[in-house]
Amino acid sequence: MGCLGTISYTFFLLSYSSRNPIRSGPEGFQFSRALKSSSRSMYRGLSLRTSMGEETAASMARQDERPSRGIECSVRKVPHVLTVAGSDSGAGAGIQADLKACGALGVYCSTVITAVTAQNTVGVQGVHHVPEEFVGEQLKSVLSDMHVDVLNIGNMLLLGAVLNCCVLEMLRLKQECFLLLRLSMFYVKNSRNFQFKAALVVDPVMVSTSGDVLAAPSILSVFREELLPMADIVTPNLKEASALLGGVQLETVSDMYSAAKSIQSLGPRNVLVKGGDLPASKDAVDIFFDGEHFHELRASRIKTCNTHGTGCTLASCIAAELAKGSSMLPAVKVAKRFVEVALDYSKDIIIGNGFQGPFDHLFKLSRVCNSCKGQRFKPSDLFLYAVTDSGMNKKWGHSITDVVKAAIEGGATIVQLREKVAETRDFFKTAEECLEMCRSYGVPLLINDRVDVALAIDADGVHIGQSDMPARVARILLGPEKIIGVSCKTPEQAEQAWLDGADYIGCGGVFPTTTKENNLTIGLEGLKTVCLASKLPVVAIGGIGVGNAHSVMKIGIPSLKGVAVVSALFDRECVTTATKMLHSVLMDVVSTPN
Ligand SMILES: Cc1ncc(COP(=O)(O)OP(=O)(O)O)c(N)n1
Ligand SMILES: Cc1nc(C(=O)O)sc1CCOP(=O)(O)O
Ligand SMILES: [Mg+2]
């Protein structure tokens, strides 16, 4: 017996509209009628009236009382997509793409694997279908235990007639998934702020990008008649849209509008017809139709061969955004933007020898690593640390980019933008320009205080003080690769900076300064104390210039790596000359034996 016949529907069905099951929110929830009953239940974990089903329901009721896993921690709900798809050994598409896309968007992704392919960038060398019972086993495992927000039915599901049953199974499971979600909502609604947002995303992979038809005609009808009416969104490419509509020619944007409308009339609540293959189109145009309104979504067409997996990725991103609570159109827009950026980022990467390569979903991570050229922070970068000051630039009629360039040409080894008065938008723009400049010289650029600006421009890091955002939080926000410096005046602060995951400390004021108001001067003795205690590299700051830099560096404590200066460089007519002079003093210290 196929999967279909083995499902038990011995459970109370919720007030349920198969046309629009997720539209009724918590208010619409009620047990109303029993559906069919059957004595056998293969999927007892999904059945709510069998003993196993009652257990499932009960276990949901107990979620708040779940036994401690040995660690005391608060409970945080994670958006969760369950993706049902095939495995791509080349990892560009299928399950692997779904996992990466969801991960990149901060959403948990569980998986049900329907087929395993031997595949690379050259082609598909083999397909091994997972037996349908075992597809069911996987579904049961996930759905009976975990809270799933969105079901994403993707690539490879329809590959091979054997999966016919599984398509139908999906229909049941979609219903059961809703039931579970609604039940879990019922049980937890008094104890948690639970938002019901289950949805079904369907990527109708029937025709591959290379033009191969992956779905048998019999499956097409199952698809049209059974799966589409359940879908909250279906995302066909031009060839799939054509196949769904009986082979109509789709050659223009106007054809795509008609196709979106016709497919929507088959039942899905929303349709996204993807025009990536549209001939003679400058942009990548997709047509979104929600049954009432059309939206023409355009993105720049990225010139790249690395497009394998874009369809799965787009669908997964939509699912991920829905799981986070987004409504449909914004989810589609975010997904499209994600794919565009990922393609652009990956346009020149080379993986495999085939014609169509994969792209990098985790570009955000690699961007950080690449920008640091494999070594994110070198303590020696603290040697001559230039900290800018907009007041001084104004006084001398200097632009910030000019002084940054001048300082670097004079020998600055790291630059910090310290901007206390500018509007955020102006600072953001300036910081972007300075970053480009610093990158061209291979000098790290840090942002003073503003973790948001550092993140926005992808700067190399931040410098924060004792009254700024805690370094521990900045580390969480910036990730492991960015440089974080912390101002410290005491050994205790230095210890805390180390615990919080900082990379270096700035220690001062070594001498009195007029650049920073009400700054406590700790003197050379205070500097020595902190340097001796610090597990992190130290840069000295405060009133340091050509006249006293020598005495600072001469304390000779190994953790002291350099000096940070503002006025000695920037309260000068010629910043390059001032920087060169300080650089030469510092070089004298390191080249003179004690
Ligand atoms: C290298 C370096 N050291 C110390 C400071 C001072 O930071 P903070 O105490 O946060 O004071 P402000 O610079 O924000 O006024 C620094 N900026 N750089
Ligand atoms: C920004 C800053 N932080 C200090 C600290 O002691 O933490 S002293 C200081 C100002 C340093 O400017 P100048 O080089 O012109 O004295
Ligand atoms: Mg600060």
Quick one: three-class SS letters along 490-546?
CHHHHHHHHHCCCCEEEEECCCCCCCCCCCCCCHHHHHHHHHHHCCCCEEEECCCCC
As for how many domains the chain has, the answer is 2
> The domain that contains 228 carries what CATH number?
3.40.1190.20
Domain with 296, as residue range(s), is 77-361
Give the pLDDT of residue 276: 85
**Token pair for 336:** 């499209």
- Number of helices (H) and strands (E), helices first, in the chain? 20, 19
**C-alpha closest to that of 316 among 203, 174, 167:** 203
d(CA 17, CA 13): 11
The closest residue, in CA terms, to atom 7 on ligand 1 is 465
Catalytic residue check, 309: yes
What one-character DSSP code corresponds to residue 420? S
Residue 560: its H or E element: strand 560-565
Residue 490 CA to ligand 3 centre (angstroms): 16
Identify whether 494 is part of a domain.
yes
Q: Is the CB of 318 under 6 A from ligand 2?
A: no
d(CA 395, CA 397): 6
Q: Is the CB of 515 under 6 A from ligand 2?
A: yes
Longest dimension (CA), the chain: 92
Atom of ligand 1 nearest to the CA of 467: 10
d(CA 87, CA 160): 15
Shared domain check, 87 and 142: yes
Residue 480 CA to ligand 1 centre (angstroms): 21
d(CA 225, CA 183): 28
Opening angle at CA 73, ends 68 and 75, nearest 5: 90
Shared domain check, 297 and 398: no
Identify whether 487 is part of a domain.
yes
Runs of H (alpha helix) within 111-251: 132-143, 164-188, 217-222, 238-244
* ipTM rounded to 2 decimals: 0.99
Shared domain check, 310 and 456: no
Q: For the chain (length 594 residues), average pLDDT per consecutive 10?
A: 25 26 27 25 26 38 52 75 89 94 94 87 83 78 85 59 41 44 35 47 68 58 76 90 90 95 96 87 89 91 89 94 90 89 87 91 63 67 97 96 97 97 95 96 96 96 96 84 94 92 95 97 98 96 98 96 98 98 95 74
| Strand spans (E) along 422-492 | 445-448, 461-464, 483-488
How many residues would you count in the chain? 594
Catalytic residue check, 312: yes
Q: Please give the backbone phi and psi of residue 261, each rounded to the nearest 5 degrees, phi first.
A: -65, -45
Q: What is the 3-state secondary structure (H, E, C) of 49-100?
A: CCHHHHHHHHHHHCHHHCCCCCCCCCCCCCCEEEEEEEEECCCCCHHHHHHH
Q: Which position among 276, 311, 461, 545 bears the catalytic label?
A: 311
Q: Is the CB of 448 under 6 A from ligand 1?
A: yes
Shared domain check, 381 and 341: no
Q: What residues contact residue 297 under an 8 Å CB cut-off, 6+ apart?
A: 272, 285, 286, 287, 288, 332, 333, 336
Shared domain check, 551 and 428: yes
Identify whether 437 is part of a domain.
yes
pTM of the model: 0.59
Give the pLDDT of residue 459: 96
Examine the fold and report which residue of 319, 339, 361 is the final residue of a domain before the chain moves on: 361
Shared domain check, 380 and 357: no
What one-character DSSP code corresponds to residue 265? T
Give the pLDDT of residue 239: 87
Catalytic residue check, 580: no
Q: Which position among 174, 274, 324, 489 bears the catalytic label?
A: 274
Shared domain check, 345 and 265: yes
Examine the fold and report which residue of 330, 361, 392 is the final residue of a domain before the chain moves on: 361
> The domain that contains 408 carries what CATH number?
3.20.20.70
Q: What residues contact residue 367 under an 8 Å CB cut-off, 6+ apart?
A: 345, 458
CB 148 within 8 A of CB 82: yes
Identify whether 337 is part of a domain.
yes
d(CA 457, CA 448): 13
Shared domain check, 386 and 310: no
**C-alpha closest to that of 453 among 488, 481, 482, 480:** 482
Residue-wise pLDDT tens digits, 130-165: 877 787 788 778 878 888 888 888 754 444 333 343
